[in-house]
Structure formats: C-alpha cells, structure tokens
Amino acid sequence: MLTQFGQIALFILVIVLFISALPIAAFIFRLIGLAPHKPTQVKTSTYESGMETVGKSWIQFNVRYYTYALIFVALDVTAILLYTWAVDLKSLGAAGLGVALVFIAILAVGYLYTWKKKFLEWK
C-alpha cells in the first residue's frame, strides 16, 4: 500500500515542480536580462478574442437568462431521456408508455406554471 501511495506522492511532486518551474524560469529570465520588460497600454489589456473590452466584467446579468437556462436544461434533458425511451418502447410495452406519459404530464405542469407566471416573456 505504501508503494501505491508513494507513486501518487511522486506524481504530486512532479506536478508541483513542473508548475512552479514556469514562473521561476520567467523570473530568472527577467533577472538575467534575457526577457525585455517594456509594458504598453495594449500589451497589458485583457485579451478577449481580439475584440476590444467594454466596461467591467463585474456586471449583473438579467435574471431571466437563468430562468431561461433552467427551463431549457430541464426540457433538454427530458428530450434526451425520451430518445432512449423511444428506442426501447417496444420492449417496455404499455407500462412504459404509461410511465412516460406521467413523466410528460409532470413536465407539462411545470411548463404550464412557467407560462402562467410569465417566465417565458422577455420584458
């Protein structure tokens, strides 16, 4: 057991060394003058796929993004589940059909709820 743990410890050691090696190397290059240090406005700005950045990154998104996303995920997952169910429908038989209908009915209730509560409208 100790050897097994030893291997893991060895891995961790290598990882730590490797990760710390890069900044240390960069630092050393700076020290011995191998890397030039000339910061400009453009160089220090955030790289965002070549676009110029606008405003701060700490902004509040509209909460509707999240409600949309949640509803989307729920329906998406359901659709995927129904694929697997449809593939096997023959062997599942009438009982399988019933279960799926109940499942869809429950989702329908949720859908009805969001609709009535006007979560689907973007205001």
Partner 1 sequence: MNLWLLAPELSLFFTAVVVLLLGLASSRRGIVIGVSLLGVLVSFVFAAFLWSGTPQATFNGMLSVDQFAVFFKFIVLAALVLVILASADYDYKVEQVRAEYFTLILISAVGLMLLSSARELITIYVSLEMSSISLYVLAGFLRDRRSSEAGLKYLLLGSVASATLLYGMSFVYGLTGKTELGQIASAIQSLSLSGLLDNPALLLGLVLVAGGFGFKISSFPFQMWVPDVYEGAPTPITGYLSVASKAAGFAAVMRIFYDAFGAPSWLGQNWGLLFAGLSIATMTVGNIVATAQANIKRMMAYSSIAQAGYIMVGLAAVSMGQSVAPAARSALAFFLASYTLTNMGAFVAIIAFSNKTNSDLIVDYSGMGRRAPLLALGLTLCLVSLLGLPPTAGLIAKVYIFNAAVQQGLLWLVIVAVLNTVVSAYYYLRVVKLMWLGNPVSEEPVPSSAALRTALFLACAGILLLGIVPDLLVRLSETAGHSLL
CA distance 75 to 106: 12
- Binding to partner 1 by CB under 8 A, coded x per residue (else -) over 75-114, reads -------------------------------x--x--xx-
Helix (H, G, I), strand (E, B) or coil at 48: strand
Half-sphere exposure of 108 (CA within 13 A, CB side): 6
CA distance 64 to 70: 10
Per CB under 8 A, the list member of 14, 29, 117, 120 interacting with partner 1 is 117
For position 116 contacting partner 1 by CB under 8 A, the verdict is yes
CA distance 115 to 53: 37
Q: How far is CA 5 from CA 8, 16, 19, 122, in A?
A: 5, 16, 21, 55
Closer to partner 1 by Cβ: residue 28 or 102: 102
Site size toward partner 1 (CB under 8 A) is: 7
Closer to partner 1 by Cβ: residue 9 or 109: 109
For position 123 contacting partner 1 by CB under 8 A, the verdict is no
Closer to partner 1 by Cβ: residue 30 or 117: 117
For position 30 contacting partner 1 by CB under 8 A, the verdict is no
